[in-house]
């Protein structure tokens, strides 16, 4: 999140607002996440339209199947976005200009990357592992009764470390790229808008646009989400392959399997349409919800 120049955001507000935004975003966009994961795991009969994938799942497996693993995703998103927003805000405060409260592009992206490592280690890899295993299991053996049962079963079969941290390397690389590009590009856009005459110069007769308002926040977040998806899709595809319920080996084994199945470009960018549909919406929803949640939590806590 990028705080305005007149009101600095405390770590507590960043934590609460980020968690609130993460939960809202995860619930609203989960069908796209489900469709993307299914395509990355199985190709889903060559269907590339996310709405058709969702429709086929509802028709064949019922509506509840579409939200398999959603509770894990929501919990993970609350924790992930709480951690990465507070980490990003804390890191950027160390490097920002004390007068304008802005960062250079390289500093914005670097701050996001560091926040990505923190969030991947603390919350993202474990919750992504369980979510992916649940989605895979819903298509195959259907033996997991709940996220906790899934965790207990995988721990017994594969050991605690692999049960929670399978795919850590690719997940962390994805989070470095995702958080770096998403928060970094969003921060760059907000800083540019703060300096831009189009948004701020009243003397030239240009109407002021509220850069913290929902419309601008959604547009900035959607653009940041698009950039993020295209740049980090290969990491996401390999991560999904490694984290399926049935063990497939390590990161290199998963990458080789993907290339053998579909080739380099088609394989590594498998599920891009589904993920793009989700991340464009997710980016808009996440940053809009975060901006509005920040205002609400400030009022609630009197800050």
186-195, 250-259, 265-274: range with highest mean pLDDT: 250-259
How large is the C-alpha radius of gyration of the chain? 20
Q: Give the total residue count for the chain.
A: 303
pTM (two decimals): 0.55
Give the separation between CA 152 and CA 163, rounded to whole angstroms.
9
pLDDT for residue 208 is more than 70: no
Q: 3-class DSSP state for residue 244?
A: coil
Q: Show the domains of the chain with their CATH numbers.
A: 11-301 (1.50.40.10)
Q: State the residue for tokens 């995702």.
A: 178
What token pair was written down for 113? 């990357």
The predicted pLDDT at position 248 comes to: 60
What phi, psi does 168 have (nearest 5°)? -60, -45
What token pair was written down for 176? 């470095």
pLDDT digits (tens, 9 = 90+) for 112-149: 788 888 888 888 888 888 888 888 887 777 888 888 89
275 versus 254: the higher-pLDDT residue is: 254
Task: Tell me if 12 sits within 8 A of 82, measured CB to CB.
Answer: no
Q: Range with the lowest mean pLDDT among 24-33, 50-59, 274-283?
A: 274-283
pLDDT band at 30 (very low <50, low <70, confident <90, very high): confident
Give the separation between CA 131 and CA 144, rounded to whole angstroms.
11
What token pair was written down for 161? 């470390």
The predicted pLDDT at position 227 comes to: 78
pLDDT band at 152 (very low <50, low <70, confident <90, very high): very high
297 versus 213: the higher-pLDDT residue is: 297
98 versus 238: the higher-pLDDT residue is: 238
Mark residue 219 as left, alpha or beta (left: phi above 0; alpha: psi -120 to 50; beta: remaining). Answer: alpha
The predicted pLDDT at position 3 comes to: 43
pLDDT average, residue stretch 56-80? 78
Dihedral in degrees, nearest 10, Cα atoms 175, 178, 183, 184: 110
The predicted pLDDT at position 210 comes to: 65
pLDDT for residue 2 is more than 50: no
6 versus 180: the higher-pLDDT residue is: 180
Distance of CA 45 to the CA centre of its chain: 26
pLDDT digits (tens, 9 = 90+) for 33-61: 777 777 777 765 566 566 777 788 788 87
Average pLDDT, the chain: 77
pLDDT average, residue stretch 65-85? 76
């Amino acid at each position: 999140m990028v705080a305005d120049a007149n009101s600095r955001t405390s770590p507590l507000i960043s934590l609460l607002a980020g968690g609130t935004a993460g939960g809202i975003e995860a619930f609203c966009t989960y069908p796209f996440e489900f469709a993307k994961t299914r395509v990355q795991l199985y190709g889903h009969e060559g269907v590339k339209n996310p709405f058709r994938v969702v429709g086929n799942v509802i028709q064949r497996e019922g509506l509840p199947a579409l939200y398999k693993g959603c509770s894990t995703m929501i919990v993970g998103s609350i924790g992930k976005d709480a951690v990465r927003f507070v980490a990003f805000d804390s890191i950027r405060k160390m490097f920002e200009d004390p007068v304008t409260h802005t960062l250079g592009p390289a500093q914005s992206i670097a701050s996001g990357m560091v926040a990505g490592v923190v969030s991947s280690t603390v919350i993202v890899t474990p919750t992504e592992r369980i979510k992916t295993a649940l989605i895979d299991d819903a298509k195959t053996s259907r033996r997991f009764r709940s996220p906790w049962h899934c965790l207990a079963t995988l721990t017994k079969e594969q050991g605690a470390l692999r049960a929670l941290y399978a795919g850590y390397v690719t997940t962390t690389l994805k989070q470095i790229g995702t958080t770096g590009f998403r928060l970094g590009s969003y921060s760059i856009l907000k800083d540019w808008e703060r300096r831009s005459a189009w948004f701020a110069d009243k003397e030239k007769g240009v109407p002021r646009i509220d850069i913290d308002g929902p419309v601008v926040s959604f547009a900035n977040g959607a653009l940041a989400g698009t950039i993020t998806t295209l740049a980090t899709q290969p990491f996401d595809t390999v991560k999904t392959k490694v984290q399926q319920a049935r063990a497939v080996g390590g990161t290199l084994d998963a990458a080789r399997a993907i290339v053998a199945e579909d080739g380099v470009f088609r394989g590594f960018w498998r599920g891009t349409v589904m993920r793009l549909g989700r991340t464009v919406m997710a980016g808009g929803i996440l940053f809009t919800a975060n901006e509005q949640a920040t205002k609400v939590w400030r009022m609630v806590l009197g800050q």
